[in-house]
Amino acid sequence: MTKKRALIISFEGIEGTGKSTQCRRLIRYLKKKGLRVAIMREPGSSHMGEEIRHILLHGKGKLTPFSETMLFLAARGQLCAEKIRPNLEKKDVIILDRYIDATLAYQGYGIGVDRRLIKQLNMSAVGDLVPDVTLLLDVAPKIGLARSGRNDRFEKRTFLFFEKVRRGYLELAKAEPKRIKIIPADTTIETMQERIRGIVEQAYERGRKNR
Ligand code: TYD
């Protein structure tokens, strides 16, 4: 008999899409249904991952695109080993606030790091821990950036950068329509949440039948 494995869901999108709100609401909803849910954010969530996150977001000095990419991948490898894998059979749903696609979108499409290299590194870091569903919250940077009020290394990037990241995400979704679902984020929180719940419930049921 195959063992029960948690459904892995990742949330993606540029800043200001309302990702955190949607994550929180989905978790509350799933928990109310009696499901065991874990949430992890990237970069971070493991001890080493949080340290790496600090360097990435607030470190002094300039990181080369290569170093930046490697740090995200290092944090991801730790997250998989320390958090995702040990929870695979303990939880019903694992929610990841950003994951493999973020590096392709930000460092690949955004900065221009070789995407084949990122794909290979992603595969080495996560192995079979690929999301069952990825929810891509999509909004024009003009709207998204106006909403988000952060001030760190990543928020300081240009408007053009976020245009590239967004286009990258949309291209990834086009290449993998079964896994990556686009959720328009220029609508209400409730409408977005309804779509998200529909997609997650379908995937959960599908997963249950296949287990
Ligand atoms: P975070 O505070 O988690 O932002 P958000 O709430 O928007 O997810 O900061 C993470 C930043 O790191 C965000 O700007 C996206 C960026 N990032 C990458 O550039 N590459 C990656 O692989 C990941 C996971 C995040």
**Strand, helix or coil for residue 11:** strand
- Greatest CA span in the chain, whole angstroms? 52
- Pocket probe for ligand 1: among 19, 69, 98, 109, the residue whose CB has the most ligand atoms within 8 Å is 98
Residue nearest to atom 4 of ligand 1 (CA): 15
- Pocket probe for ligand 1: among 39, 56, 71, 106, the residue whose CB has the most ligand atoms within 8 Å is 106
The answer on pLDDT for 97 being more than 60 is yes
Q: Which of 43-47, 184-188, 192-196 has the lowest mean pLDDT?
A: 43-47
Residue 187: pLDDT band with limits 50, 70, 90: very high
| CA distances, 123 to each of 35, 68, 130, 146, 171 (Å) | 28, 18, 9, 34, 19
> Which residues' Cβ are closer than 6 Å to ligand 1?
15, 19-20, 41-43, 72, 97-98, 102-103, 106-107, 154
- Could you tell me if 95 and 39 are in contact, meaning their C-beta atoms sit under 8 angstroms apart? yes
Radius of gyration of the chain, Cα coordinates, nearest whole angstrom: 17
The CATH code that applies to domain 7-210 is 3.40.50.300
Return d(Cα 145, Cα 148) in angstroms, integer: 5
The answer on pLDDT for 172 being more than 60 is yes
**Strand, helix or coil for residue 159:** helix
CA 31 to chain centre: 20
Give me ligand 1 centre to Cα 70, in Å. 14
Residue 2 per-residue DSSP state: P
Cα–Cα nearest to 122, from 143, 100, 92: 100
The answer on pLDDT for 2 being more than 80 is no
The answer on pLDDT for 1 being more than 80 is no
Mean local confidence (pLDDT), 8-16: 95
